[in-house]
Amino acid sequence: MKQIIATDKAPAAIGPYSQAIQTGNLIFTSGMIPIDPATNTLVEGDITVQAKQAIGNLEALLQASGSDLDHVIKTTVFIKDMNDFSKVNEVYASFFTKDCPARSCVEVARLPKDVLIEIEAVAEQA
Q: How many folded domains does the chain comprise?
A: 1
Nearest CA to 85 out of 101, 104, 56, 105 is that of 105
Instruction: Read off the pLDDT of each residue in 80-84 and give the average, rounded to a whole number.
Output: 98
HSE of 17, CA atoms in CB hemisphere, 13 A: 12
Beta-strand pair 2-5/72-79 = unpaired
Q: For residue 65, what is the DSSP state?
A: T
* pLDDT tens per residue across span 20-62: 999 999 999 999 999 999 999 999 999 999 999 999 999 999 9
pLDDT for 14: 84
Which residue blocks in the chain are alpha helix, DSSP H? 47-64, 85-95
Query: What residues make up the domain containing 55?
Result: 2-124
Candidates 42, 64, 105, 122; catalytic one: 105
* pLDDT tens per residue across span 115-125: 999 999 999 99
Q: What is the CATH number of the domain that holds 8?
A: 3.30.1330.40
Other C-beta atoms lying within 10 Å of the C-beta of residue 25: 11
pLDDT for 20: 98
Examine the residue annotation and report whether 100 is marked as an active-site residue of this protein. Answer: no
Question: What value, to the nearest 5°, has the Cα angle with vertex 103 and ends 67 and 66?
Answer: 5
